[in-house]
């Protein structure tokens, strides 16, 4: 795995977390229990701190960073879709960040909120808990419904399960 200490900043990774071998983790990055970090993800805590809560899935190609002396925080059981970018923001428990979405500096995504694919959550923008927001710039278009909760609950379980299966099930063949 590409896990790096940077000066006095050292990653802290729970034993039950799975970090794909070609993901990159640098500096003060703290991964909770049953976290999944997919291939090609980059978590850069070189001069800021990144906290990733238990059961969170950081899918393939995600980029996470924080400003100097600041932090990016993910709550528990967050799903961050393929290719998303999160920079110096706070993401609440159970939230979903869609594929290729961007969450910018000092933005807050509330618990259970769903940010659509390709959306832009602007600097200091606040998305309330349990709302669906889409677009560039991101706008709230409705409430998270029971069907959304069920679909994402199943997806979150899948990534927690994958974090457990990958250590013994992944075999490089080329």
The arithmetic mean of pLDDT across residues 91-118, rounded, is: 98
**pLDDT confidence band for 38 (50 / 70 / 90):** very high
Helices (H), the chain: 146-169
**pLDDT confidence band for 1 (50 / 70 / 90):** low
Q: Domain 2-169 adopts which CATH fold? A: UDP N-Acetylglucosamine Acyltransferase; domain 1 (2.160.10)
Residue 158, C-beta contacts closer than 8 angstroms, at least 6 positions apart: none
The domain ranges of the chain are 2-169
Task: Check residues 156 and 4 and name the one with the higher pLDDT.
Answer: 4
Q: Which segments of the chain are extended strands (E)?
A: 2-4, 12-13, 18-19, 24-31, 36-37, 42-52, 57-58, 63-65, 71-74, 79-80, 85-87, 90-91, 96-97, 102-103, 108-109, 114-115, 120-121, 126-127, 131-134, 139-143
Mean pLDDT of the chain: 94
Check residue 161 and give its pLDDT: 80
The arithmetic mean of pLDDT across residues 43-66, rounded, is: 97
In angstroms, the CA 43 to CA 24 distance is 6
Residue 51, C-beta contacts closer than 8 angstroms, at least 6 positions apart: 30, 71, 72, 73, 74
Q: Is the pLDDT of residue 116 over 90?
A: yes
- CB distance 110 to 94 below 8 Å: no
The arithmetic mean of pLDDT across residues 51-77, rounded, is: 97
Check residue 172 and give its pLDDT: 80
Q: Is the pLDDT of residue 167 over 70?
A: yes
């Amino acid at each position: 795995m590409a896990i790096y200490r940077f000066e006095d900043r050292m990653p802290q990774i729970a034993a039950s977390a799975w970090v794909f071998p070609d993901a990159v983790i640098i500096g003060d990055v703290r991964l909770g229990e049953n976290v999944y970090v997919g291939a090609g993800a980059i978590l850069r805590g070189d001069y800021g701190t990144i906290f990733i809560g238990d059961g969170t899935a950081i899918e393939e190609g995600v980029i996470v960073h924080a400003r100097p002396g600041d932090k990016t925080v993910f709550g528990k059981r967050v799903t961050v879709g393929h290719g998303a970018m999160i920079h110096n923001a706070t993401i609440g428990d159970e939230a979903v960040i869609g594929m290729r979405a961007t969450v910018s500096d000092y933005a807050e995504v509330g618990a259970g909120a769903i940010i659509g694919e390709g959306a832009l959550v602007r600097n200091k923008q606040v998305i309330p808990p349990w709302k669906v927001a889409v677009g560039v710039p991101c706008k709230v278009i409705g409430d998270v419904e029971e069907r959304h909760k069920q679909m994402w609950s199943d997806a979150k379980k899948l990534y927690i399960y994958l974090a457990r299966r990958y250590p013994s099930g992944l075999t490089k063949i080329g």
